[in-house]
Amino acid sequence: MPAFGTSIPRKVMTLFLLVDCSGSMAVSGNIGKVNGAIEEMIPLLRNISDENADAEIRIGVLAFSSGCRWIGGGVQDLDHFQWTDMKASGLTDMGAAFRELENRLSRKEFMDGAAGNYAPVIILLSDGEPTDDYRSGLAVLQHNNWYREAQKIAIAVDKASIQTLSEFTGNIETVLSCNGQKEDLKHLIVNVATVSSKMQSRSQTAGTKVDEKEIADQIRRQQEDKKKQVISELAHMIKERGEASVDGNTAAEIESYLAKVGVPSGNDLEPTYKGLVAHLKSLGGSTGTPAGGANGTAAASASGKTKAKVADPFADDNDW
């Protein structure tokens, strides 16, 4: 029994990130987004770990390109974790990463928590096809008990093979897609890491097992909720400022525009709003006022044509 005043050691829940650092990850700044995401998630993971009296979260980042290496030497506790930015170059030796992970998933290596270990979370991120024999590496990893019990999520960036990544997770529904130019990759990585770590550490301490699909579904719900919120706020900004026409297709146009530029992860919508207004004007030739406004009426009269009246989809604020 621990002496009075001493803390009881907590079991360890390790978050493993397997990150594709091949040359293609330099395209569109994807490797920079990954680096930024890992830096941003560390304080969030510290909070999750501190709030759980039974589980301590640790992190291990395995970068793979032409070969693979552990950032910082291996698994580290979050209080001492020092991040060093990864560089993108070389091939996509995913099979080598699988073999290296299998070598370290043992109590003699990384799973050496003094009070024991909970099943880990393993997140695989890649933007292309493996360039080595990944299936033989995966076959070795699949015999590892820690891997079989782990929560496994994959992030398919750009042209990554969803089918290949689903072989790793064991379920195509636990592969989340993200186009580096259309979605906020940084925000997605932070969400996946924090949500999966929180759900896994809490479920393990409660003696239950969380379904990987449940984690992926929650991430998707968060993404959809965020998109709806942004569409609503942009719609009201358009209505209030009157810088573009409003008609029955406006909400759909906003959604289409966000699919091209990405849903902003922060609260500052001004850059997105300015680009959206320019986009809407280019589509409709707007004079800069809402449909039915003075300029719109004048333009219709000058052309000798009467513009059809279209219902304002934002008239009832309660719908948004």
Residue 2 lies in a domain: no
Position 8 scores a pLDDT of 58
Asked if residue 238 belongs to a domain, the reply is yes
pLDDT of residue 289: 41
What is the 8-class DSSP label of residue 128?
S
Higher pLDDT, 7 or 124: 124
Average pLDDT, the chain: 79
Question: What is the pTM for the complete model shown?
Answer: 0.72
* 305 φ/ψ sector (left φ>0, alpha ψ -120 to 50, else beta): beta
Q: Domain boundary at 146, 177, 210, which?
A: 210
CATH code (residue 61):
3.40.50.410
DSSP conformational letter for 172? G
Which residue range is the domain that position 93 belongs to?
A: 11-210
**Element of type H or E holding 124:** strand 121-126
pLDDT at 285: 46
Structural domains in the chain (count): 2
pLDDT at 318 over 80: no
Distance between CA atoms of residues 155 and 179, nearest Å? 10
Looking at the fold, whether 80 and 149 belong to one and the same domain comes out as yes
**206 and 287 fall within a common domain:** no
Query: Is the model's pLDDT at 21 over the cut of 80?
Result: yes
Rounded to an integer, the average pLDDT of 143-172 is 92
Tell me the pLDDT band of 231, cut-offs 50, 70 and 90: confident
Predicted pLDDT at 296: 41
Whether 306 maps to a domain, the answer reads yes
Residue 117, SS3? Answer: strand
Q: Which of the residue ranges 52-61, 243-252, 259-268 has the most confident prediction, judged by mean pLDDT?
A: 52-61
Confirm whether 3 is domain-assigned: no
Residues 255-298: tens digit of each pLDDT? 888 877 777 766 778 888 888 888 888 876 443 444 444 344 33
pLDDT at 229: 85
Which tokens belong to 267?
């609260």
- Domain contains 154: yes
Residue 1 lies in a domain: no
